[in-house]
Structure 1
């Protein structure tokens, strides 16, 4: 009986197992055929669970200078992460100990780190102060051997030369997808070339994303960005950057811009601005590349192109004499004055160029060249349109040419505006024997893997405004500006320099020009060596903080001479064995170095100075000279005022028509506390002529421009209250 029951039980179990086997087998074949279970796609589920992927980092394109030196590149950086999941073999075991060690190298308090490392329910955390650390700091942390600490490798943009051409290069930021993208400068304008595309690797991995051996991998290779080669020269750019930074530190100007170009090709070898910034830190105070995006009244550098136009048209006779000082235009209330108001008497046009005479250039354009012909040369030199340089955000200036006064003042650089890069392009015609070269900064773009050239630039002639003979004659005359005229501070030992100084007035918010010592844009446009210029340099400094008697042009001269000389030597341009004699018939009117007149007779000193063409003011009742302004050793030009303080009581002279500089000199000489309002020349004074003065007296002087024009309509705010003077500082030598 018992045996029978056992057989029945065994039969039931066999039936159950058979049914179960049939069900499971059916289920298996059903799943195998449909590849799903309970609505879940098992293939996709398996992929999600076991198929892992990693990003293969691509590199953004590298930027190089013209010699192949790296100036912008991607470098690896590391972000510190802490694995908190206790199921993972390598996790944070002691948050307190880990926090204490990390606080030694990361800029975070221990307690804050410990709180972060003790979080529950997180697989891992990223330490904020450990983002994008350097390789050196990564090594420091690795040496601590902290369990659970790991690193995420990523790329960051690095600029090895810090502030090097920062407004040209620009910088990058993280785009919406987290990929680097250009934000400014060439990084932005060339983003489509520089942009990288990450690759991908797919593999079978365990629960901790570790690859399981003997399984196939699927790889999509990364596509690196294309490399950009610029025309910039690292050495010359560093010369310019350092000189500008030194001037910015010492003189604290509002703005500085500088450009160095190869006039034979149009290649930009260096370009900088101040304020600058370090793209590694993005400490940006100024986003504007003044060299291409800041039009302003150029001042007397514009006279270079007026002179060239007159010579090209056969309307210039350098030996012809004209009366300097002032020039009356019909239907204009006040005459145009030279910058010192008095002029230099009857002088030749060559001397007028030397002395930067506004009258000379007004007469040239009105009486000899003609307004329409001059306007055509403004176009021929490209001063009325963009250069189309391959840099972003280039602006165009504004040529005011509706009224006669605008046409005349444009000839000597007032009213109309241009950018520094427009002046550089125009000046290549002077330096390059009549051929005007288009400026450019991108030499070529190459694929880093195939080495195939994607884009290439070559020198391009932008125009032929003048002949070779005209260009040579202009350079000869501009050389005398440096050897014997307003550009004397720009002389470089061993090299002949041709160039022109400029002082531009700055319109205020009320449309009137601002006034004050140093309240101008001071500039110089020069080339060297004169006979075959290898370099063309433009420097402009706006509103440097200079104290009288130091000139506003001092930082400009410091930058120009330093950069030009260093660059010529670096390029192995040999110094000229002997400075050539003047090839232009000009008198050396730059003046003389003042001797020490103290202790001498005022009557005799006055007679001597007047014979040299100086204006002399004697203050004091005695004859023995006690003090003088300018001081001993200063250079003075013909027509400049020299003030002699003698023994005895001092009485205030009539300062009507005295310049800003003259007022500063008499105030310094007599120890007065001066207040000067307006710009131009004195029209009112608080201490009446003949009244006694003593040290510490307050002296208020009102200045007015030598010419004010009110045309029927003002086309441009900058032209309201146009004046003919460049500035009382223009065309005076730098004194140390």
Structure 2
């Protein structure tokens, strides 16, 4: 019984046998690991990948440097070839403070002389030496680099080059592509805006300009070029490796776009609207000047607007109201009602009616003066702008015929004008009362461009022209030109009908009972139609009340016998209605139409307009001399002797005797604002970044901060305007 137990003990105590077993297992494990290593290594060699990363690409990345060659965005020009929007480059400055930032041969690449840096930068940035030194000595001593806020951003090439000449250690610049809009406020919502966005070319990120509104957006694919790429093999020090070639794919620039806008007339229109906005403060205002023979838009503007170069005024108002607002046009619609009635042989001018009021479909329609003018022939309904008369005209014509002409004039459809965000409009036409009120511009919603398209038929012998703002596109690489020819969308009325409507529109201007007498222009025959449209309340409960709660409008065609221009102006809810709506609109219409007609006749010189020179970076003395040669009023804001910013911007169109504001280095100081307009005060606020409270209307008579007082961050500024 003991022998088996001894055998088991001997087996457990046999070290040689145990070692053999362990050795075999270890060898098997070692062979397995070796095979796994061989397999893994073979996979890496064959595939060139590890952990889903391409080793070849990573190795090449150590020695290859790729640079994006940025394509130039196409330039937008006016009708005469002057640039409206073009590519530019701005620079931002920063300072490296970390003393570990050392280059080849232990060259110090950080700021070594803070006092010198502060002294030099104070000449070119709107910051004092003390303010700059404070930034160069941050509380956190481990800070690698510092920037200088908005004062150090958006610098011009001239300012950058001037700072670089001082050879300041530790001072660097970043480059940002930007879009230059040299005319400032200039059909801003129609031209639009291009802003910087990051895109990738061959895995290399680059900043590019992308259209975000207006024509910059709708024509983005046309204006945008294709970036190129430059690849160079370099060593660890950044030098190109010998016997290697540079690979380069050239950039393809975007195409240039030419518009129909005339800078002379556009600038004048903007000036007139700014004056009206400042004086009467309308909620919205639109104005369009068009050549009805071609449909080409010569000038177009809206309020509110913004300066695309600075972003001032943009806020949240991105809508192009010429196509993006649908509104009830009011009595200017009567021009189309009259045209439809005449053209359909449903107009009896000698038929009389009782003005004042009429009941239709359970609704009572009143004339604008409520009591009317007694018994009138239908021929006087148009110059009197009688709503009751036009209800009679619509009833005689019939709802089917009238709706057919609304469609013939291409209302309820977009004009395809290339402007962004265009609406189709709408109509209420179910009930008899709905049909009746559309005859005088209620119950139908239109856009400004739809109205312009319709007006062209009346001014152009019955031929309706599509509104056109782009004249051609040119490829700068090949020279290929694509022209946008005038496009006739239809012939809703005959030449005879158009002539009769123009005659009726002259009655509006020249008859003693016409509503458009304020739009007479000496030396020219003018055909007009006025409008006063009610505004629907926000809750849908009828229309707003109050003397200013209307959309006031006027359309004019001149010369009346053969119109070369159609000018249409709308003004919504002027908040400071110190004059009648007709007087306010005439303040824009009369000088604008006269200027256009005078230009056409060759009787106006253009010497009153010039381009703002670039004076940033120059001494105050040199800048003042240059601006006075342009007949501009020079206003210095600051105690320094070098100009760091200017307003208006370089290349903007300016008028004789316009104020030019120069922000200098050193402390900002308050100029004497006596006699300044509201728009000039707003420019000062934009230039200095200070909030200025404006009270009253007219021109500045008082200012809370005296002239030459310091404009520091704690300063509260109030200016008082009074009428002369």
Q: With the length of structure 2 as denominator, give the TM-score of the two structures.
A: 0.69
Aligned equivalent of 2:110: 92
Aligned equivalent of 2:305: 276
Instruction: Give me the whole-angstrom Cα distance separating, in 2, the residues matched to 1:265 and 1:45.
Output: 60
Instruction: Give me the whole-angstrom Cα distance separating, in 1, the residues matched to 2:139 and 2:46.
Output: 43
- Is the alpha carbon distance of 1:501 and 1:72 closer, same or farther for their aligned partners in structure 2, counting shifts above 3 Å? same
Pairing 1:416–2:458 present: no
Shift of 1:421: 1.0
Asked whether the equivalents of residues 481 and 499 of structure 1 are also in contact (C-alpha less than 8 Å), the reply is yes
SS at match of 1:563: helix
Aligned equivalent of 1:466: 493
Instruction: Give me the whole-angstrom Cα distance separating, in 2, the residues matched to 1:494 and 1:573.
Output: 14
Asked whether the equivalents of residues 95 and 111 of structure 2 are also in contact (C-alpha less than 8 Å), the reply is no
Runs (5+) with no aligned partner, structure 1: 1-33, 576-736
- Is the alpha carbon distance of 1:327 and 1:46 closer, same or farther for their aligned partners in structure 2, counting shifts above 3 Å? closer
SS at match of 1:254: strand
Aligned equivalent of 1:265: 294
Instruction: Choose the corresponding residue for 2:543, options 513, 533, 539.
Output: 513
Asked whether the equivalents of residues 501 and 525 of structure 1 are also in contact (C-alpha less than 8 Å), the reply is yes
How much is the aligned-residue C-alpha RMSD, in angstroms?
A: 2.9
- Is the alpha carbon distance of 1:356 and 1:117 closer, same or farther for their aligned partners in structure 2, counting shifts above 3 Å? same
Aligned equivalent of 2:720: none
Shift of 1:306: 0.7
Shift of 1:207: 4.7
Aligned equivalent of 1:441: 469
- The Cα offsets for residues 523-572 of structure 1, whole Å up to 9 and x where unpaired, read as 01111111111111110000113446x21233222111121111122233
Shift of 1:505: 0.6
Q: How does 1:191-590 map to 2 (within 5 A)?
A: 191-205=220-234, 207-210=236-239, 216-283=245-312, 284-285=314-315, 286-329=317-360, 332=362, 334=364, 336-366=365-395, 368-453=396-481, 455-484=482-511, 485-510=514-539, 511-547=541-577, 550-572=579-601
Asked whether the equivalents of residues 92 and 117 of structure 1 are also in contact (C-alpha less than 8 Å), the reply is no
Shift of 1:514: 1.2
Instruction: Choose the corresponding residue for 1:180, options 187, 209, 218.
Output: 209
Shift of 1:47: 4.4
Instruction: Give me the whole-angstrom Cα distance separating, in 2, the residues matched to 1:513 and 1:519.
Output: 9
Shift of 1:82: 4.2
Shift of 1:425: 0.6
Pairing 1:166–2:182 present: no
Instruction: Give me the whole-angstrom Cα distance separating, in 2, the residues matched to 1:356 and 1:411.
Output: 11
- Is the alpha carbon distance of 1:44 and 1:356 closer, same or farther for their aligned partners in structure 2, counting shifts above 3 Å? closer
Asked whether the equivalents of residues 112 and 170 of structure 2 are also in contact (C-alpha less than 8 Å), the reply is no
SS at match of 1:238: helix
- The Cα offsets for residues 213-243 of structure 1, whole Å up to 9 and x where unpaired, read as 8853222211211111112222221122111
Instruction: Give me the whole-angstrom Cα distance separating, in 1, the residues matched to 2:185 and 2:292.
Output: 25
Query: Which sits farther off after the overlay, 336-345 or 394-403?
Result: 336-345
Shift of 1:294: 0.8
Shift of 1:175: 2.4
Shift of 1:43: 8.1
Asked whether the equivalents of residues 117 and 168 of structure 2 are also in contact (C-alpha less than 8 Å), the reply is no
Instruction: Give me the whole-angstrom Cα distance separating, in 1, the residues matched to 2:230 and 2:439.
Output: 67
Shift of 1:466: 0.6
Pairing 1:74–2:87 present: yes
Aligned equivalent of 1:145: 167
- Is the alpha carbon distance of 1:301 and 1:185 closer, same or farther for their aligned partners in structure 2, counting shifts above 3 Å? same
Asked whether the equivalents of residues 456 and 463 of structure 2 are also in contact (C-alpha less than 8 Å), the reply is yes
Shift of 1:148: 3.4
Runs (5+) with no aligned partner, structure 2: 1-44, 200-206, 605-724
- Is the alpha carbon distance of 1:505 and 1:46 closer, same or farther for their aligned partners in structure 2, counting shifts above 3 Å? closer
- Is the alpha carbon distance of 1:211 and 1:340 closer, same or farther for their aligned partners in structure 2, counting shifts above 3 Å? same
Asked whether the equivalents of residues 77 and 155 of structure 1 are also in contact (C-alpha less than 8 Å), the reply is yes
Instruction: Give me the whole-angstrom Cα distance separating, in 1, the residues matched to 2:263 and 2:497.
Output: 34
Instruction: Give me the whole-angstrom Cα distance separating, in 2, the residues matched to 1:270 and 1:530.
Output: 20
SS at match of 1:74: strand
- The Cα offsets for residues 130-184 of structure 1, whole Å up to 9 and x where unpaired, read as 3331123213312433123343444211101111111111112222423221111
- Is the alpha carbon distance of 1:212 and 1:81 closer, same or farther for their aligned partners in structure 2, counting shifts above 3 Å? farther
Shift of 1:441: 1.5
Instruction: Give me the whole-angstrom Cα distance separating, in 2, the residues matched to 1:437 and 1:531.
Output: 19
Instruction: Give me the whole-angstrom Cα distance separating, in 2, the residues matched to 1:438 and 1:523.
Output: 21
SS at match of 2:529: strand
Asked whether the equivalents of residues 136 and 146 of structure 2 are also in contact (C-alpha less than 8 Å), the reply is no
Shift of 1:501: 0.2
Instruction: Give me the whole-angstrom Cα distance separating, in 2, the residues matched to 1:165 and 1:415.
Output: 30
SS at match of 1:564: helix
Asked whether the equivalents of residues 103 and 113 of structure 1 are also in contact (C-alpha less than 8 Å), the reply is no
Query: Which sits farther off after the overlay, 62-71 or 142-151?
Result: 142-151
- The Cα offsets for residues 647-669 of structure 1, whole Å up to 9 and x where unpaired, read as xxxxxxxxxxxxxxxxxxxxxxx
For this pair of structures, how many residues does the alignment match? Answer: 535
Instruction: Give me the whole-angstrom Cα distance separating, in 2, the residues matched to 1:53 and 1:447.
Output: 27
Instruction: Give me the whole-angstrom Cα distance separating, in 2, the residues matched to 1:265 and 1:70.
Output: 23
SS at match of 1:384: coil
- Is the alpha carbon distance of 1:46 and 1:90 closer, same or farther for their aligned partners in structure 2, counting shifts above 3 Å? farther
Instruction: Give me the whole-angstrom Cα distance separating, in 2, the residues matched to 1:569 and 1:457.
Output: 27
- The Cα offsets for residues 69-104 of structure 1, whole Å up to 9 and x where unpaired, read as 100010122233546622244623515235423355
Aligned equivalent of 1:105: 124
Instruction: Give me the whole-angstrom Cα distance separating, in 1, the residues matched to 2:430 and 2:168.
Output: 77
Instruction: Give me the whole-angstrom Cα distance separating, in 1, the residues matched to 2:236 and 2:86.
Output: 36
Q: With the length of structure 1 as denominator, give the TM-score of the two structures.
A: 0.68
